[in-house]
Structure 1
Amino acid sequence: MSDGMNKFLGDSPLRVLVKLLVVSILVGFVMTVFDWYPADIYYGIRNFLLDLWRTGFAALGRVGDYLLLGAVVVIPLFIILRLFSYRR
């Protein structure tokens, strides 16, 4: 069972516990410095989703524009790089 637990956790349970404690302290410190609270994060995500729903997903409408703008640069570069690597 110990091998299965170590494999699941990625390390021994005691070492994982220590790592989790250290990371929890660091995250708690950063959240305190920025005056963040778990409820604020929850309400921020909730409000974002509600605003997204209310706007009829208009906020995601620019994704197509970004795709086309990026494709104008990326696809010719890809073709040029493939042509240069084809000659080798």
Structure 2
Amino acid sequence: MDRNTIFGGNPFGVILRLALISIVVGVVMKALGIDLKNFFQRINELLRNLYDLGFGAIEWVIEYMLLGALVVVPIWLIARLVGAVRSKAE
């Protein structure tokens, strides 16, 4: 393996691109109020919010599923009973 294969191109060019992208991302993060001091605190808050959001979404789905089941299950049960009575009559 040569250096171009390992780095994905000219090593100097790759390092230069990574440095420029790192500067741009650093500026954006600083504009969002994220710095080296609170980076891990922000990551922790992000993970906690995603965790809470996930369970909030599950609660939302269950609530609507139960509400719909109040109508769907009785109709399904009546349809099954009518179908069973018709098949016995034939």
Q: Which has the larger radius of gyration?
A: 2
TM-score by length of 1: 0.49
